[in-house]
Structure 1
Amino acid sequence: MLKINFFPIMAVLLFGLSVGHASAATADDLNRDAIQSLNTLYQHNPVAKKMAQESRAILVFPKVIKAGLVFGGSYGEGVLLRNSKPVDYYNTVSASWGLQAGAQSYGYVVFLMNDKAVKYLQESKGWEVGVGPTIVVVNEGLAKNLSSSTLKEDAYAFIFDQQGLMGSLSIEGTKISIIHR
């Protein structure tokens, strides 16, 4: 019978994620990367650009690193933009377990469509995706059917710039918390 000790695997994974945290980007880096990521998203997805015009604020995570082997996790840092100006900085963290193996990086943008969603993000001690305001993850099929008259949810998320290989990708089980710069 093959026995696998998962402690060393988790230690390496958590060390890798903490190294990313220790070498956190500066506010200027995050601001620059967020604007660049938004522009790239707008070029590839015109619906996202229309959503930006309708939104109250935009939360941009330019790069999230995800890795796992049975147990996994992800970490990234981002910026909240209001009227195209940085307001606050946040991190996104998730943990998972199950049938998974691999590593990848990706970015995601959350368009906060109403004041309720913005207030919840700013006043909560961490927004657990799936708790609080509703977030709809937009894929290509849904994007084709969205218009200003059908935007009824609190927040819409776009995942972009996926690189690497991982069995699944979602933002469920993710906690978004403010970080101070």
Structure 2
Amino acid sequence: MSLKAIAAALFAFAAVIITAPSSQAASGPEIDAGVDATLDTFFYKVRGARELAHKAVGILVFPSIVKAGFGFGGEYGEGALRVHGRTVGYYNDVSASVGFQIGIQSRSVIIMFMTPQALHQFRSTAGWKVGVDGSVAIITVGIGGSIDTNKITSPVVGFILDPKGLMYNLTLEGSKISRISR
């Protein structure tokens, strides 16, 4: 397969991801099942994660955000916002990028709102943009795979996971998170 054919295939795939037709969209129960599995994995692999989740007033989980690109890229994922363990809304995460990139990557994202004010601002903003409407402090896990919950002071914290575990040196800047109906 030529480089041109690969690029065309990646662009077509990215277009599907970005537009996310409703016929391919996940149902509420499918999203909830993915959220449960993502949180279970997170709690199992990272000591202190469950304790931090109990301190959070809201947790937004995207079980799978797929990024595709060849020069130009895009990513799309669907998730759920949980408050007191209950799903209170469904959201999507969309972003586009330009720069050296090739291929397809999947990751999970967990965003914890640590204060009622941060959660209120998120829920009352249509099309919440990371870095514009709110800042998300990406937490990296220290030696031994644990979180020191006493050192987390940001009102919104995020974790990025790939199939192998937590990913480092990544950002959510430029992501636009919008409420969807399911």
TM-score, normalization: structure 2?
0.84
Alignment of 1:46-57 (within 5 A): 46-57=47-58
**CA distance in 2: counterparts of 1:105 and 1:99, whole angstroms:** 17
Q: How many residues align?
A: 171
Map of 1:21-170 to 2, 5 A cutoff?
21-22=21-22, 23-141=24-142, 144=146, 146-148=148-150, 150-162=151-163, 169-170=170-171
Deviation at 1:169, TM superposition (A): 4.4
Match of 2:17? 17
**What is the identity, as a one-letter code, of the residue corresponding to 2:152?**
L
Instruction: Determine if contact 2:47/2:146 at 8 Å carries over to the other structure.
Output: no
Residue identity in the other structure for 2:148:
L
State the one-letter code of the partner of 1:16.
Answer: V
Query: Structure 1 stretch 10-19 or stretch 75-84: which is displaced more?
Result: 10-19
Distance 1:21 1:141, change over 3 A: farther
What are structure 2's unaligned runs of at least 5 residues?
none
Query: Is contact 1:133–1:154 with CA below 8 Å preserved after alignment?
Result: no
The residue type equivalent to 2:123 in the other structure is Q
Q: Determine if contact 2:128/2:178 at 8 Å carries over to the other structure.
A: yes
Query: Is this contact kept in 2: 1:71–1:98, CA < 8 A?
Result: yes
1:18-41: per-residue Cα shift (whole Å, max 9, x none)?
Answer: 575431110011111101110101
* Rounded Cα–Cα distance in structure 2 between residues aligned with 1:158 and 1:145: 11
Q: Distance in 2 between matches of 1:161 and 1:62?
A: 10
Identity rate, percent: 32
TM-score (norm 1): 0.84
Distance 1:16 1:126 in 2: 20
CA-based RMSD of the aligned residues comes to 2.3
SS at match of 2:172: coil
Assess, with a 3 A threshold, how the Cα gap between structure 1 residues 53 and 37 changes in structure 2: closer, same or farther.
Answer: same
Label 1:145 to 1:11 Cα distance change in 2 as closer, same or farther (>3 A): closer
Shift of 1:100: 1.1
The alpha carbon displacement at 1:10 in A equals 7.4
The amino acid of 1:126's aligned partner reads G
**Which amino acid letter does the alignment assign opposite residue 178 of structure 2?**
S
Q: Matches of 2:108 and 2:17 in 1, distance apart?
A: 16
SS at match of 1:117: helix
Shift of 1:152: 1.3
Q: Is the 8 A contact 1:76 1:92 kept in 2?
A: yes
Alpha-carbon offset, residue 71 of structure 1: 0.2
